[in-house]
Amino acid sequence: MKILSINAGSSSLKFQMYEMPEEEVLISGRFERIGLDKSFYTVKINGEKVEKFVDLKDHSVCVEYLIKELLENKVINSLDEIKGVGHRLVHGGDKYSESVVINDKVIKTVEELSDLAPLHNPANLMGVRAFMEKIPSAIQVGCFDTAFHQTMKADRYLYPVPYEWYTKYGVRKYGFHGMSHRYVSERLSELVDKDYSNVIVCHIGNGGSISLVRDGKCVDTSMGFTPNAGIIMGSRSGDIDYSVIPYIAKKTGMTLDEIDNALNKKSGMLGTSGISSDFRDIDEAIAKKDERAIMAHYLFVNSIVNYIAKYYVELNGRIDALAFTAGVGENAPHVRRMVIDRLQCLGFKIDREKNDEIRFGKEGIISSVDSKIPVYVIPTDEEVMIARDTYKFIKK
């Protein structure tokens, strides 16, 4: 059975087609600069990657090119072979705690939740509508970034603000990166060979979040009402004292929108280092002993350590495993080493040789044999989670 996993943004669209239930990737690719000049797309099939420059005026045109590639590469002989299309939808609020078949009611609800994710939900729906139009025979499934975290209890997701802000306006912690946290926590349970396990997942990339998962259910997570909460990120501030906002507004005359933009796009590693939001650029600057880059790196590590330590305490020390995932978590051994070294008092110990070896898509354990708690690197796979959820609806 052939299923497409789709992640549509305002100017990009990523896809992977799977043969299910084998989970074999048949073709993958990405459309870039949709609606902009110099648009193009890349396709990877049979280990070969091809780049093509074409005019991508909207998502519907992208789907047309995608279908053309599927047919010309003989991945399918007809559109009827595509039984399902699974879509990453960023924000389902507290309306959806699991993936759902997309219908008019779901689309309307996702539209209504766009105030909570103004950059993401409308863009996600562009992809949904394009595939509904071009592949009407396929079941369309929505997979929400927020769904996995809906198992949090009120004492974890409520903020100590006027209660009507929650009841009237939906102000609460939602959490994000849910598909990744779910994938990695499930994989951790397999690795520690326990049906019921207590694990901490560190999804660390340009955006980052940390979650506490007990018995396969999210207990708490670092991101909050928006993805700007929690640990320091590439260009997002993470947790700050909210009084900074009115203070800066008075000092500079900046509007709330301008400050919000600064906290999302000009802060984090970029704002602190003054160099880049890309961690590779920060590492190059650190090698040249740039003081701000070094300070940014310490702030970043501190924020990760703080959340791991917090969740360790919440588990009363009964933790079965810790995992690193996503771009930095999977590929930056020095970051993992610094974090684990700071947590030695809790029984974490790293095997430096293993840690240096496991990167670039490798999965494995990086803790030493005398570590109280095993530490893993697990490459995340949000796309396969989307495919799995979509397959479940089709095989019913």
Report, as residue numbers or ranges, the catalytic residues: 145
Q: Output the CA–CA distances (angstroms, integers) from residue 210 to 101, 155, 222, 322, 372, in the order listed.
A: 28, 18, 5, 10, 20
Query: What is the dihedral sign for C-alpha 59, 65, 69, 71?
Result: positive
SS (H, E, C) 109-145: HHHHHHHCCCCCHHHHHHHHHHHHHHCCCCEEEEEEC
Q: Output the CA–CA distances (angstroms, integers) from residue 278 to 21, 23, 133, in the order listed.
A: 36, 32, 37
What is the SS3 assignment for 380?
coil
Which residue(s) pair with 53 in the sheet? 40
- Give every CB contact of residue 366 below 8 A, 6+ residues apart in sequence: 324, 333, 336, 340, 350, 351, 354, 355, 358, 375, 376, 377
- Give every CB contact of residue 117 below 8 A, 6+ residues apart in sequence: 90, 91
φ, ψ for residue 349, nearest 5 deg: -140, 140
Q: 73: closest CA among 49, 41, 45, 50?
A: 45
Chain centroid to CA 42: 22
- Which amino acid, one-letter code, is at 19? E
